[in-house]
């Protein structure tokens, strides 16, 4: 019998690892593997005691801009410049003459701001345990907290950047429609999907350091092949359909951008994301449970 009464949560005063006795053969493999539920158990523990990762996320954000005169303004200004300059240029280059150039600003602002969030979260989560090595080796082994710290740090940045989205939507009059109510469903779906992928990547990235580099390249490519700068409606023919419908990031962006900017409810895209979420979380939970005893060795 092998059991693992899990890692020491504060207040929980007991921890025991009982592994097979010597006569079953010291195969050297680490025993006492956690059950598949361990990711969710760890998540519950993390939300019960959120001090470390919330404070950590705040510190990370605060440190990034501490000694700068403009401080947090830098977070917003880069995005603002991007949206203004690219919006002005590409609305002339890409749109057909006579088309509505106004809505392009709202399109690119929403797409780009969400993209930054996705890209930063995925990129960094593949290296998160390596970056936290000192703390892990000193005994802080609530691995979920490191991912939540990173994720909520990017949520703070996303919050700042949303100012630009709101600005773009107000200035390029995008009307509030009934479709906006679906955001109450799609926004949580969006975050659930991204967080699930973060957990999956954090495990895979800890085992295979190459994943970090791979993500960098892949995400750079996907920035261009996902309709962020361009619009799906600009395409001609079926070839472009592959770039849209086989692209997971399209679905993620569209479930928010569709209702927000275009006033449509993208049922297909919502369905795809909703179906993907259980799969992503199942994979993440399996990988996490399998890998948890090894993280300290891999990093």
Partner 1 sequence: MSSSICAQNMHFSIPSATRIDKSLRRNPIAAVRNLVTRGKSRRFKPLLHDMSFEFRAGDRVGLIGQNGAGKTTLLRLLAGVLVPSAGGLEIRGVTQNLLNVSMGMQSDATGLENIYLRGYSAGLSGQEITRRIPEILEFSELEPVIHDPVRTYSSGMRMRLAFAVATSAKPEILLLDEWISAGDRFFVERSRERLRSHINSSEILVFASHNPQTLKELCSRGLVLKNGSVVFDGDIEAALAFYESDDYQAIELPARGESRKGAKRAR
User: Is the torsion defined by CA of 277, 141, 128, 154 positive or negative?
Assistant: positive
Contacts 24+ apart (CB under 8 A), 246-253: 247/222, 248/276, 249/115, 249/118, 249/222, 250/226, 251/276, 252/114, 252/118, 252/190, 252/193, 252/194, 253/110, 253/111, 253/114, 253/115, 253/226, 253/227, 253/228
Residue (227 or 293) nearer to partner 1, CB:
293
**d(Cα 25, Cα 179) in Å, to the nearest integer?**
62
Please report how close the Cβ of residue 150 comes to partner 1 at its closest, in angstroms: 14
CB atoms within 10 A of CB 15: 11
Q: State the Cα torsion 211-215-218-220 to the nearest 10°.
A: -150
Please report how close the Cβ of residue 132 comes to partner 1 at its closest, in angstroms: 7
**d(Cα 182, Cα 294) in Å, to the nearest integer?**
41
User: What residue ranges bind partner 1 (CB under 8 A)?
Assistant: 4, 7-22, 24-32, 49, 51-52, 55-56, 59, 63, 66, 132, 134-141, 207-210, 293, 296-298
**d(Cα 209, Cα 34) in Å, to the nearest integer?**
23
Residue (13 or 173) nearer to partner 1, CB:
13
Please report how close the Cβ of residue 30 comes to partner 1 at its closest, in angstroms: 5
Residue (18 or 279) nearer to partner 1, CB:
18
Please report how close the Cβ of residue 248 comes to partner 1 at its closest, in angstroms: 21
Please report how close the Cβ of residue 203 comes to partner 1 at its closest, in angstroms: 12
Q: State the Cα torsion 219-221-223-224 to the nearest 10°.
A: 180
Residue (92 or 137) nearer to partner 1, CB:
137
Residue (62 or 177) nearer to partner 1, CB:
62
Residue (47 or 267) nearer to partner 1, CB:
47
Residue (7 or 186) nearer to partner 1, CB:
7
Please report how close the Cβ of residue 201 comes to partner 1 at its closest, in angstroms: 15
46 Cβ contact list (under 8 Å, min separation 6): 53, 142, 144, 145, 148
**d(Cα 212, Cα 147) in Å, to the nearest integer?**
15
Please report how close the Cβ of residue 295 comes to partner 1 at its closest, in angstroms: 9
């Amino acid at each position: 019998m092998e059991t693992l009464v899990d890692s020491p949560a504060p207040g929980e005063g007991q921890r025991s690892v009982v592994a097979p006795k010597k006569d079953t053969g010291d195969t050297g493999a680490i025993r006492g593997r956690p059950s598949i539920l361990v990711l969710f158990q760890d998540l519950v523990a993390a939300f019960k005691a959120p001090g470390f990762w919330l404070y950590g996320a705040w510190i990370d954000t605060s440190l990034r801009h501490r000694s700068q005169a403009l401080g947090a303004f830098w977070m917003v200004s880069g995005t603002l410049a991007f949206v203004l300059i690219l919006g002005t240029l590409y609305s002339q280059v890409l749109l057909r003459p006579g088309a509505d150039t106004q809505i392009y600003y709202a399109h690119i602002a929403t797409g780009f701001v969400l993209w930054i969030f996705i890209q930063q979260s995925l990129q960094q989560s593949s290296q998160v345990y390596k970056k936290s090595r000192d703390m892990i080796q000193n005994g802080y082994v609530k691995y979920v907290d490191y991912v939540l710290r990173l994720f909520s740090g990017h949520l703070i940045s996303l919050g700042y950047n949303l100012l630009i989205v709101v600005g773009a939507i107000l200035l390029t009059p995008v009307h509030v429609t009934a479709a906006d109510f679906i955001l109450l469903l799609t926004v949580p779906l969006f975050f659930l999907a991204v967080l699930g992928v973060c957990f999956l990547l954090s495990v895979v990235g800890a085992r295979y350091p190459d994943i970090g580099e791979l993500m960098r390249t892949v995400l750079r490519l996907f920035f261009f092949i996902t309709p962020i700068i361009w619009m799906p409606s600009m395409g001609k023919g079926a070839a472009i359909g592959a770039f849209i419908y086989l692209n997971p990031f399209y679905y993620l962006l569209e479930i928010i951008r569709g209702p927000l900017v275009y006033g449509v409810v993208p049922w297909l895209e919502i369905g795809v994301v909703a179906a993907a979420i259980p799969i992503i979380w199942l994979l993440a939970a399996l990988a996490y449970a399998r890998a948890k005893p090894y993280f300290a060795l891999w990093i």
